[in-house]
Chain A
Amino acid sequence: MTVATLDTRTPMPHKSERGFFSLMAPGARRAFFYLFVIGVGFIIAFPVLWLVLTSLRPASGMFYVHRGTEFTLDNFFEVFENRIVIKAYINSAIIATLATVLSLGITVTSGYMLSRFRGPIASGWFSIIYVFRCVPYISWVLPLYILTQNLGVYDTYLGLLLPHIAVHICFFSWLMKGFFDGIDPSMEYAALIDGCTRWGAFVRVALPSAVPGLAALAVLCWLWTWNEFLFALLLTSHQTPVLTVVMAQFVHELGIEWNLMSATAVMALGPALLITFFGQKYVITGLKI
């Protein structure tokens, strides 16, 4: 008996040559994988690509978008001539920026408090935040319509900003708690022992460490406010038109002019596209909390 007969290794089946793929040329598995990946990417990107394509077609090309060869930028010029659209564009940008700055400013201390303090006040505040996070927007927005009119801020920046900030408080405090939970508090304790006040420890020690998280949340907050529809629909009117509302009205009023509709929507997509391509890192950090 030789040693060779004691070899008990079982032959491992070669991974790329099993089942269906064993019938095909080597590398078929990889080719199918890439086809699949391209297919998935195409399906996800298709609605946006289609919208962009539609926006570049002349009005007469609406009936054969898929096989026309004429391209034009006239739709964009025509949209730019519409004063309401321009006004709405500017308003949306201003409101989104103000809402981001104010919401972050208000919620950062609340998130810090949730993360660092224990006791009935902290846990009570957390329950309030969770419950209000669940309340559907429509339950606030109907009475807010009355409230903003009584306060005289209906259809102004303030009338739209304050409800936005109030809604952000619940969710953002929750997210901010996550940021501060991820930051080791021992540095703050060291600062407190060295005679720093609690506020000083927060501003000088905890806040700088939270900046990456805050930047991520700022990007998302700006985008959410820019995209928001229901509040804008109910709390604004002709004085302060907002982009999402103007677009939704287009659909119902001049729904047949898809070329103009698409051009407006592509313009509204601008910031979203910029953020996707250049601010990805922030978006992913912001969502992961």
Chain B
Amino acid sequence: MLALIAPAAVTMALFQVVPIILGANASFRDWTLYDPKKTWVGLKHYIEVITDPAFFGLAIPNTLLFLVLSVSLSLTFGLGLALLLNRSFVGQSVVRTIVLLPLMVAPVIASIMMRWMFNDQFGIVNVVLEGVGLPPVAWLAYRWTTMMVIVLADVWLWTPWFAVLLLAGLQSLPKEPFEAAAIDAAGPWRVFRSLTLPMLRPVIVVCVVIRSIDAFRVFDQVWVISGGGPARTTEMFSIYAYVEAFQRMNFGKGSAAALVGGAVIVVFGLVLYRLLNRAVEVSK
């Protein structure tokens, strides 16, 4: 029994547990990449991180805003797509292929596409805006429009994932309640609200939990689209830790930030796990 998990456990111990211990060690020291002294400074970095307005005042709220927007929008669109693909129509397999496409695209490439489409001079979005007589917008020069582009890239990437999982959920639902509803002449909205949605709830909860945990550590999209800018206003938790450690060369503070954020998400994940168990039990 132990032999079965031994290779996995050893790899995990070496490349996940050891790094976390190393990171914890570094977070208590004045660990700069150019200064080999590594003086022990205790909780100094943690206090700096927690009192830094750019962390709990900006990076964490940005991350949470991104998480809520991205997860709720991709869930809504994904559910819509799943309902659409659950009907049979000519050309359904073509639409299914198109829907799967974003799932295969690297976040880096998706972000490059968005950057190009929202380019302030030659981007297609501004061309269309000018075409309908509206002034062009410098999308990546303001905080909220940049945020919108980042969220859009993420929604585009993850809507198909929701669609595939929710479609599988829809197809495994029993037929009888829907037949009964049809006999009772229930309208489509009523069927959706009183039958489909409650019966799909366990799948939705599982998807939302998994996706929320992943959305918290978003890095690629932010890094490529805005790099945290303009003026660090769209900086998110992972970017904050990276910038502190590698651009400001303060490895101790970066590690402290990474660990504080890691603790936040692990607690969040455990709460979500209880929620998940309860949702699945209720449906049984």
**A-B contacts at CB below 8 angstroms, number:** 248
Majority SS at the chain B contact face: helix
Pairwise interchain contact B23-A143, C-beta atoms closer than 8 A: yes
> B269: which A residues are within 8 A, CB to CB?
130-131, 133-134
Stretch at the interface among B48-56, B194-202, B256-264: B256-264
- Of all chain A residues, which has the CB nearest B240? A138
**Is the CB of A216 closer than 8 A to any CB of chain B?**
no
A37-B95, A137-B217, A280-B100 known; A244+B11 contact, CB < 8 A? no
Most B Cβ at <10 Å: residue of A163, A269, A276? A276
Pairwise interchain contact B106-A226, C-beta atoms closer than 8 A: yes
**Is the CB of A208 closer than 8 A to any CB of chain B?**
no
Pairwise interchain contact B122-A288, C-beta atoms closer than 8 A: no
Pairwise interchain contact B20-A139, C-beta atoms closer than 8 A: yes
Pairwise interchain contact A106-B11, C-beta atoms closer than 8 A: yes
From B15, B101, B168, give the contact of A162 (CB < 8 A): B15
From A62, A142, A230, A268, give the contact of B23 (CB < 8 A): A142
Majority SS at the chain A contact face: helix
> A166: which B residues are within 8 A, CB to CB?
11-12, 14-16
> B254: which A residues are within 8 A, CB to CB?
142
In chain A, positions 61-110 with a C-beta closer than 8 Å to chain B are: 62-66, 105-107, 109-110
Stretch at the interface among B68-76, B113-121, B173-181: B113-121
Chain A min CB distance to B267 (Å): 9
A45-B101, A139-B258, A143-B26 known; A134+B266 contact, CB < 8 A? yes
Chain B min CB distance to A39 (Å): 11
**Is the CB of A20 closer than 8 A to any CB of chain B?**
no
Chain A min CB distance to B205 (Å): 15
Pairwise interchain contact A110-B8, C-beta atoms closer than 8 A: yes
Q: A48-B113, A142-B254, A226-B106 are in contact. List 11 more A-B contacts (CB 8 A).
A: A37-B89, A47-B102, A131-B269, A137-B217, A138-B258, A139-B241, A166-B14, A229-B107, A268-B106, A276-B97, A283-B100
- Nearest first, the 9 A-B pairs at minimum CB distance are A134-B269, A272-B104, A227-B106, A166-B15, A136-B217, A143-B23, A139-B262, A143-B22, A143-B19
